[in-house]
Protein backbone atom coordinates (compact mmCIF):
# COMPACT_ATOMS: atom_id res chain seq x y z
CA UNK A 1 0.00 0.00 0.00
CA UNK A 2 1.26 3.46 -0.85
CA UNK A 3 1.86 5.76 2.08
CA UNK A 4 2.40 9.47 1.40
CA UNK A 5 3.71 11.87 4.01
CA UNK A 6 3.68 15.65 4.17
CA UNK A 7 7.23 16.46 3.12
CA UNK A 8 8.44 19.89 4.26
CA UNK A 9 11.92 19.45 2.79
CA UNK A 10 13.64 22.53 1.35
CA UNK A 11 14.77 20.51 -1.67
CA UNK A 12 14.60 18.11 -3.35
CA UNK A 13 11.04 18.71 -2.35
CA UNK A 14 7.43 17.65 -2.63
CA UNK A 15 5.95 17.19 -6.12
CA UNK A 16 2.27 17.22 -7.09
CA UNK A 17 0.84 13.75 -6.61
CA UNK A 18 -0.97 13.92 -9.96
CA UNK A 19 2.36 14.49 -11.69
CA UNK A 20 3.95 11.50 -9.98
CA UNK A 21 0.96 9.34 -10.89
CA UNK A 22 1.07 10.39 -14.52
CA UNK A 23 4.82 9.75 -14.68
CA UNK A 24 4.26 6.31 -13.15
CA UNK A 25 1.52 5.49 -15.64
CA UNK A 26 3.73 6.58 -18.55
CA UNK A 27 6.92 4.98 -17.25
CA UNK A 28 7.12 1.94 -19.50
CA UNK A 29 5.36 3.25 -22.57
CA UNK A 30 5.16 6.99 -23.20
CA UNK A 31 2.16 7.74 -25.45
CA UNK A 32 2.42 4.51 -27.43
CA UNK A 33 6.14 4.95 -28.16
CA UNK A 34 6.91 1.65 -26.41
CA UNK A 35 9.62 3.46 -24.46
CA UNK A 36 10.18 5.30 -21.25
CA UNK A 37 11.04 8.99 -21.70
CA UNK A 38 14.38 8.10 -20.07
CA UNK A 39 15.21 5.82 -22.99
CA UNK A 40 14.41 8.25 -25.81
CA UNK A 41 16.85 10.06 -28.04
CA UNK A 42 16.85 13.72 -27.17
CA UNK A 43 16.76 14.39 -30.92
CA UNK A 44 13.79 12.13 -31.67
CA UNK A 45 10.38 13.60 -32.47
CA UNK A 46 8.85 12.25 -29.24
CA UNK A 47 11.28 13.99 -26.95
CA UNK A 48 11.33 17.15 -29.07
CA UNK A 49 7.56 17.35 -28.62
CA UNK A 50 7.98 17.00 -24.82
CA UNK A 51 10.67 19.67 -24.82
CA UNK A 52 8.70 22.11 -26.95
CA UNK A 53 5.58 21.73 -24.83
CA UNK A 54 7.59 22.33 -21.63
CA UNK A 55 9.15 25.46 -23.08
CA UNK A 56 5.84 26.76 -24.41
CA UNK A 57 4.02 26.14 -21.13
CA UNK A 58 6.72 27.81 -19.07
CA UNK A 59 6.72 30.81 -21.41
CA UNK A 60 2.98 31.09 -20.97
CA UNK A 61 3.04 30.61 -17.17
CA UNK A 62 5.63 33.33 -16.58
CA UNK A 63 4.57 35.49 -19.56
CA UNK A 64 8.18 35.38 -20.76
CA UNK A 65 8.62 38.08 -23.43
CA UNK A 66 9.69 36.98 -26.92
CA UNK A 67 13.12 38.63 -26.58
CA UNK A 68 14.02 36.18 -23.80
CA UNK A 69 15.38 32.70 -24.34
CA UNK A 70 14.47 29.81 -22.05
CA UNK A 71 17.34 27.38 -21.46
CA UNK A 72 17.14 24.00 -19.74
CA UNK A 73 20.63 23.42 -18.44
CA UNK A 74 22.59 21.38 -15.91
CA UNK A 75 24.85 22.49 -13.09
CA UNK A 76 22.24 23.71 -10.61
CA UNK A 77 21.99 27.05 -8.89
CA UNK A 78 25.55 26.63 -7.65
CA UNK A 79 26.76 26.01 -11.19
CA UNK A 80 25.09 29.24 -12.30
CA UNK A 81 27.09 31.13 -9.67
CA UNK A 82 30.07 30.61 -12.00
CA UNK A 83 28.16 30.39 -15.29
CA UNK A 84 26.60 33.84 -14.83
CA UNK A 85 29.89 35.77 -14.49
CA UNK A 86 31.49 33.66 -17.23
CA UNK A 87 28.69 34.79 -19.58
CA UNK A 88 28.18 38.38 -18.47
CA UNK A 89 31.41 40.06 -17.41
CA UNK A 90 32.84 39.93 -20.95
CA UNK A 91 30.55 42.85 -21.81
CA UNK A 92 32.79 45.13 -19.73
CA UNK A 93 36.52 45.91 -19.67
CA UNK A 94 38.35 43.55 -17.28
CA UNK A 95 38.49 43.34 -14.37
CA UNK A 96 34.74 43.88 -14.33
CA UNK A 97 32.79 44.86 -11.23
CA UNK A 98 29.67 42.96 -10.19
CA UNK A 99 27.26 44.21 -7.54
CA UNK A 100 25.71 41.83 -5.05
CA UNK A 101 23.06 42.25 -2.41
CA UNK A 102 23.95 39.91 0.44
CA UNK A 103 20.73 38.67 2.01
CA UNK A 104 21.67 35.22 3.30
CA UNK A 105 23.40 31.91 2.67
CA UNK A 106 22.71 31.61 -1.04
CA UNK A 107 23.71 35.12 -2.06
CA UNK A 108 26.76 34.55 0.15
CA UNK A 109 27.72 31.51 -1.92
CA UNK A 110 27.18 33.46 -5.14
CA UNK A 111 29.52 36.20 -3.89
CA UNK A 112 32.22 33.71 -2.98
CA UNK A 113 32.12 32.03 -6.38
CA UNK A 114 32.01 35.28 -8.37
CA UNK A 115 35.23 36.44 -6.67
CA UNK A 116 37.07 33.89 -8.80
CA UNK A 117 36.10 35.82 -11.92
CA UNK A 118 35.48 39.46 -11.14
CA UNK A 119 35.64 42.27 -8.63
CA UNK A 120 32.76 41.96 -6.23
CA UNK A 121 31.03 44.97 -4.73
CA UNK A 122 28.68 44.06 -1.91
CA UNK A 123 26.23 46.90 -2.49
CA UNK A 124 24.18 46.05 0.59
CA UNK A 125 24.19 43.38 3.25
CA UNK A 126 21.90 42.30 6.04
CA UNK A 127 24.65 40.28 7.69
CA UNK A 128 24.76 42.59 10.76
CA UNK A 129 21.10 41.84 11.40
CA UNK A 130 21.73 38.11 10.86
CA UNK A 131 19.84 38.19 7.54
CA UNK A 132 16.52 38.87 9.20
CA UNK A 133 15.40 41.45 6.61
CA UNK A 134 16.09 42.49 3.01
CA UNK A 135 18.21 45.68 3.09
CA UNK A 136 16.01 48.58 1.93
CA UNK A 137 16.65 49.56 -1.68
CA UNK A 138 17.60 53.15 -0.79
CA UNK A 139 20.53 51.84 1.31
CA UNK A 140 22.20 49.99 -1.60
CA UNK A 141 25.54 51.37 -2.81
CA UNK A 142 25.55 50.24 -6.41
CA UNK A 143 28.52 50.71 -8.78
CA UNK A 144 28.19 53.16 -11.64
CA UNK A 145 29.48 50.68 -14.19
CA UNK A 146 28.50 47.27 -12.84
CA UNK A 147 28.52 44.33 -15.27
CA UNK A 148 25.34 43.17 -13.54
CA UNK A 149 23.57 43.23 -10.18
CA UNK A 150 22.93 39.88 -8.50
CA UNK A 151 20.16 39.23 -6.01
CA UNK A 152 18.73 36.05 -4.52
CA UNK A 153 14.99 36.73 -4.50
CA UNK A 154 14.21 33.98 -1.98
CA UNK A 155 16.79 32.92 0.55
CA UNK A 156 15.83 29.30 1.14
CA UNK A 157 17.88 28.83 4.31
CA UNK A 158 17.25 32.17 6.03
CA UNK A 159 13.60 32.50 5.03
CA UNK A 160 13.66 36.00 3.54
CA UNK A 161 12.05 36.91 0.23
CA UNK A 162 11.97 40.00 -1.98
CA UNK A 163 8.37 41.17 -2.19
CA UNK A 164 9.16 43.53 -5.08
CA UNK A 165 11.54 43.82 -8.02
CA UNK A 166 14.24 46.39 -7.30
CA UNK A 167 15.06 48.94 -9.97
CA UNK A 168 18.83 49.08 -10.48
CA UNK A 169 19.21 50.46 -14.01
CA UNK A 170 19.54 54.17 -13.21
CA UNK A 171 22.36 53.82 -10.66
CA UNK A 172 24.42 51.30 -12.59
CA UNK A 173 24.42 52.50 -16.20
CA UNK A 174 21.70 50.03 -17.14
CA UNK A 175 23.30 46.97 -15.59
CA UNK A 176 21.11 43.90 -15.98
CA UNK A 177 19.50 42.53 -12.86
CA UNK A 178 20.30 38.83 -12.29
CA UNK A 179 18.14 36.83 -9.92
CA UNK A 180 18.58 33.44 -8.32
CA UNK A 181 14.94 32.36 -8.04
CA UNK A 182 15.70 28.70 -7.29
CA UNK A 183 13.32 28.37 -4.37
CA UNK A 184 10.34 30.50 -5.38
CA UNK A 185 10.12 30.56 -9.17
CA UNK A 186 6.53 29.93 -10.30
CA UNK A 187 5.20 30.65 -6.80
CA UNK A 188 4.03 34.13 -7.85
CA UNK A 189 3.82 36.22 -11.01
CA UNK A 190 7.07 37.98 -11.93
CA UNK A 191 7.74 40.74 -14.45
CA UNK A 192 10.48 38.97 -16.40
CA UNK A 193 11.21 42.12 -18.43
CA UNK A 194 12.70 43.75 -15.32
CA UNK A 195 15.47 41.13 -15.21
CA UNK A 196 18.37 40.42 -17.54
CA UNK A 197 18.75 36.86 -16.29
CA UNK A 198 16.68 34.62 -14.04
CA UNK A 199 17.98 31.23 -13.03
CA UNK A 200 16.58 28.44 -10.88
CA UNK A 201 17.53 24.91 -9.97
CA UNK A 202 14.43 22.77 -10.45
CA UNK A 203 14.44 20.71 -7.28
CA UNK A 204 12.68 23.22 -5.03
CA UNK A 205 9.56 24.42 -6.78
CA UNK A 206 9.60 22.78 -10.21
CA UNK A 207 10.62 19.16 -10.36
CA UNK A 208 13.54 16.80 -9.97
CA UNK A 209 17.14 17.78 -9.29
CA UNK A 210 19.30 17.95 -12.40
CA UNK A 211 17.48 20.61 -14.42
CA UNK A 212 18.45 24.26 -14.18
CA UNK A 213 16.23 26.86 -15.80
CA UNK A 214 17.81 29.97 -17.25
CA UNK A 215 15.78 32.84 -18.70
CA UNK A 216 18.08 35.25 -20.49
CA UNK A 217 17.47 38.39 -22.50
CA UNK A 218 18.68 38.16 -26.12
CA UNK A 219 21.22 40.97 -25.96
CA UNK A 220 23.05 39.25 -23.08
CA UNK A 221 23.91 36.24 -25.24
CA UNK A 222 27.20 36.00 -27.07
CA UNK A 223 29.53 37.60 -24.51
CA UNK A 224 30.95 34.48 -22.84
CA UNK A 225 34.60 34.63 -21.84
CA UNK A 226 36.90 32.39 -23.93
CA UNK A 227 37.47 30.19 -20.85
CA UNK A 228 33.73 29.55 -20.40
CA UNK A 229 33.01 25.83 -20.91
CA UNK A 230 31.09 25.44 -24.19
CA UNK A 231 28.28 23.52 -22.48
CA UNK A 232 27.74 26.57 -20.24
CA UNK A 233 27.93 29.26 -22.94
CA UNK A 234 24.34 30.51 -23.00
CA UNK A 235 24.56 31.48 -26.68
CA UNK A 236 25.66 28.01 -27.75
CA UNK A 237 22.98 26.48 -25.54
CA UNK A 238 20.33 28.86 -26.93
CA UNK A 239 21.38 28.34 -30.57
CA UNK A 240 21.00 24.60 -30.02
CA UNK A 241 17.66 24.78 -28.18
CA UNK A 242 19.28 23.45 -25.00
CA UNK A 243 20.67 20.46 -26.92
CA UNK A 244 24.28 21.52 -27.40
CA UNK A 245 24.96 18.63 -25.07
CA UNK A 246 22.45 15.99 -23.98
CA UNK A 247 19.96 17.77 -21.76
CA UNK A 248 18.52 16.21 -18.58
CA UNK A 249 15.69 14.66 -20.56
CA UNK A 250 13.70 12.94 -17.83
CA UNK A 251 13.90 15.97 -15.56
CA UNK A 252 12.64 18.19 -18.38
CA UNK A 253 9.72 15.80 -18.91
CA UNK A 254 8.76 15.93 -15.22
CA UNK A 255 9.16 19.72 -15.18
CA UNK A 256 6.85 19.82 -18.21
CA UNK A 257 4.23 17.79 -16.33
CA UNK A 258 4.52 20.23 -13.42
CA UNK A 259 3.97 23.14 -15.84
CA UNK A 260 0.80 21.44 -17.14
CA UNK A 261 -0.34 20.89 -13.55
CA UNK A 262 0.27 24.58 -12.76
CA UNK A 263 -1.81 25.61 -15.77
CA UNK A 264 -4.63 23.38 -14.54
CA UNK A 265 -4.42 25.03 -11.10
CA UNK A 266 -5.01 28.40 -12.74
CA UNK A 267 -1.41 29.50 -13.33
CA UNK A 268 0.99 31.42 -11.13
CA UNK A 269 -1.53 34.08 -10.04
CA UNK A 270 -3.70 31.32 -8.58
CA UNK A 271 -0.63 29.70 -7.02
CA UNK A 272 0.29 33.03 -5.44
CA UNK A 273 -3.15 33.35 -3.84
CA UNK A 274 -2.82 29.87 -2.38
CA UNK A 275 0.76 30.43 -1.28
CA UNK A 276 -0.22 33.64 0.51
CA UNK A 277 -3.05 31.80 2.21
CA UNK A 278 -0.81 28.92 3.34
CA UNK A 279 2.02 31.19 4.54
CA UNK A 280 -0.35 33.58 6.35
CA UNK A 281 -1.99 30.72 8.20
CA UNK A 282 1.37 29.39 9.39
CA UNK A 283 2.98 32.74 10.29
CA UNK A 284 -0.18 33.90 12.06
CA UNK A 285 -0.12 30.81 14.22
CA UNK A 286 3.60 31.14 15.00
CA UNK A 287 3.05 34.81 15.93
CA UNK A 288 0.10 33.97 18.18
CA UNK A 289 2.12 32.04 20.77
CA UNK A 290 5.37 32.43 22.69
CA UNK A 291 5.95 28.70 22.49
CA UNK A 292 7.20 29.20 18.87
CA UNK A 293 8.83 32.13 17.10
CA UNK A 294 9.86 33.35 13.67
CA UNK A 295 12.11 36.38 13.92
CA UNK A 296 12.19 37.55 10.29
CA UNK A 297 11.00 41.11 9.59
CA UNK A 298 7.38 40.80 8.52
CA UNK A 299 7.82 42.55 5.17
CA UNK A 300 10.68 40.19 4.22
CA UNK A 301 9.17 36.89 5.28
CA UNK A 302 9.39 34.09 2.71
CA UNK A 303 6.16 32.49 1.58
CA UNK A 304 8.06 29.34 0.67
CA UNK A 305 10.49 28.66 3.50
CA UNK A 306 9.35 29.30 7.05
CA UNK A 307 12.08 28.95 9.69
CA UNK A 308 10.90 28.86 13.28
CA UNK A 309 12.18 28.09 16.75
CA UNK A 310 10.77 26.41 19.80
CA UNK A 311 11.01 28.64 22.88
CA UNK A 312 12.52 25.65 24.68
CA UNK A 313 15.13 24.22 22.32
CA UNK A 314 15.70 21.19 24.53
CA UNK A 315 12.41 19.94 23.04
CA UNK A 316 13.75 19.99 19.45
CA UNK A 317 14.44 16.25 19.16
CA UNK A 318 11.11 15.32 20.74
CA UNK A 319 9.37 17.74 18.37
CA UNK A 320 10.96 16.20 15.29
CA UNK A 321 10.28 12.64 16.46
CA UNK A 322 6.61 13.31 17.22
CA UNK A 323 6.19 15.21 13.94
CA UNK A 324 7.66 12.30 12.05
CA UNK A 325 5.34 9.85 13.79
CA UNK A 326 2.48 12.00 12.45
CA UNK A 327 3.80 11.87 8.88
CA UNK A 328 5.19 15.42 8.99
CA UNK A 329 8.73 15.10 7.66
CA UNK A 330 11.90 17.15 7.09
CA UNK A 331 11.09 19.92 9.55
CA UNK A 332 14.61 20.27 10.90
CA UNK A 333 16.11 23.69 10.19
CA UNK A 334 19.30 24.14 8.20
CA UNK A 335 22.34 23.60 10.43
CA UNK A 336 23.56 27.17 9.88
CA UNK A 337 20.32 28.60 11.30
CA UNK A 338 19.17 25.87 13.66
CA UNK A 339 15.62 25.38 14.90
CA UNK A 340 12.96 24.22 12.46
CA UNK A 341 12.00 25.06 8.91
CA UNK A 342 8.83 24.25 7.00
CA UNK A 343 9.15 24.57 3.24
CA UNK A 344 5.70 25.01 1.76
CA UNK A 345 6.23 25.08 -1.98
CA UNK A 346 3.52 25.08 -4.67
CA UNK A 347 3.02 21.33 -4.36
CA UNK A 348 2.40 21.41 -0.59
CA UNK A 349 -1.37 21.35 -0.24
CA UNK A 350 -3.26 23.48 2.26
CA UNK A 351 -4.11 20.24 4.10
CA UNK A 352 -0.39 19.75 4.77
CA UNK A 353 -0.04 23.20 6.31
CA UNK A 354 -3.19 22.62 8.32
CA UNK A 355 -1.85 19.28 9.56
CA UNK A 356 1.37 21.01 10.61
CA UNK A 357 -0.50 23.70 12.52
CA UNK A 358 -2.70 21.08 14.24
CA UNK A 359 0.47 19.33 15.33
CA UNK A 360 2.10 22.59 16.52
CA UNK A 361 -0.96 23.26 18.67
CA UNK A 362 -1.06 19.80 20.18
CA UNK A 363 2.66 19.79 20.87
CA UNK A 364 2.35 23.10 22.65
CA UNK A 365 -0.56 21.82 24.71
CA UNK A 366 1.44 18.77 25.73
CA UNK A 367 4.73 20.47 26.57
CA UNK A 368 3.88 24.16 26.98
C1 LIG B 1 19.04 25.12 -3.45
C2 LIG B 1 19.49 26.44 -3.90
C3 LIG B 1 20.63 26.60 -4.71
C4 LIG B 1 21.56 25.45 -5.04
O5 LIG B 1 21.11 24.65 -6.02
P6 LIG B 1 21.99 23.40 -6.50
O7 LIG B 1 21.06 22.77 -7.45
O8 LIG B 1 22.31 22.56 -5.30
O9 LIG B 1 23.21 23.91 -7.16
C10 LIG B 1 20.96 27.87 -5.15
N11 LIG B 1 20.23 28.93 -4.81
C12 LIG B 1 19.13 28.83 -4.04
C13 LIG B 1 18.35 30.05 -3.71
C14 LIG B 1 18.72 27.59 -3.57
O15 LIG B 1 17.63 27.48 -2.80
Q: Which of 78, 89, 142, 141 is nearest to 118 (CA)?
A: 89
Q: Which of 65, 280, 272 is nearest to 186 (CA)?
A: 272
Structural domains of the chain sorted by starting position, each given as residue range(s) with its CATH number in brackets = 19-263 (3.40.640.10), 267-367 (3.90.1150.10)
Q: What is the whole-number distance in angstroms between the Cα of residue 158 and the centre of ligand 1?
A: 13
pLDDT in single tens digits along all 368 residues of the chain:
688 999 999 999 999 999 999 999 999 999 999 999 999 999 999 999 999 999 999 999 999 999 999 999 999 999 999 999 999 999 999 999 999 999 999 999 999 999 999 999 999 999 999 999 999 999 999 999 999 999 999 999 999 999 999 999 999 999 999 999 999 999 999 999 999 999 999 999 998 999 999 999 999 999 999 999 999 999 999 999 999 999 999 999 999 999 999 999 999 999 999 999 999 999 999 999 999 999 999 999 999 999 999 999 999 999 999 999 999 999 999 999 999 999 999 999 999 999 999 999 999 999 99
Which helix (H) or strand (E) segment holds residue 213: the answer is: strand 212-217
CB count within 10 Å of CB 94 equals 11
Q: How far is CA 175 from the centre of its chain?
A: 23
Is 303 within 8 Å of 187 (Cβ atoms)?
yes
Query: Under DSSP, is residue 158 helix (H, G, I), strand (E, B) or coil?
Result: coil
d(CA 336, CA 340): 11
Query: Best of 79, 201, 303 to mutate for ligand 1, by most ligand atoms within 8 A of CB?
Result: 201
Residue 1's pLDDT is 66
Task: Compute the half-sphere exposure of residue 37: CA atoms within 13 Å on the CB side of its CA.
Answer: 24
Q: What is the whole-number distance in angstroms between the Cα of residue 366 and the centre of ligand 1?
A: 37
Residue 202's pLDDT is 98
Is 91 within 8 Å of 216 (Cβ atoms)?
no
What does DSSP say about strands 292-293 and 305-310: parallel, antiparallel, or unpaired? antiparallel
d(CA 80, CA 152): 12
Task: Compute the half-sphere exposure of residue 19: CA atoms within 13 Å on the CB side of its CA.
Answer: 24
Q: What is the whole-number distance in angstroms between the Cα of residue 212 and the centre of ligand 1?
A: 10
Amino acid sequence: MTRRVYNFSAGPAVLPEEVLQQAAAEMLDWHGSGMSVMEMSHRGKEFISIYEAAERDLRELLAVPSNYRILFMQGGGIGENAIVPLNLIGRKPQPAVVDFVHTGSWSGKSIKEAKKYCKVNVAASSEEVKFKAIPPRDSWKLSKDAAYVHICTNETIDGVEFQYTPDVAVDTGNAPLVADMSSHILSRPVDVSKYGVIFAGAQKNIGPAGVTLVLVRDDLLGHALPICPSAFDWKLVADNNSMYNTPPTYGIYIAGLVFQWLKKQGGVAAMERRNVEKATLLYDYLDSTDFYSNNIAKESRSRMNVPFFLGDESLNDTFLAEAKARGLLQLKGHKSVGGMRASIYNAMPMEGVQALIDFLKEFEKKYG
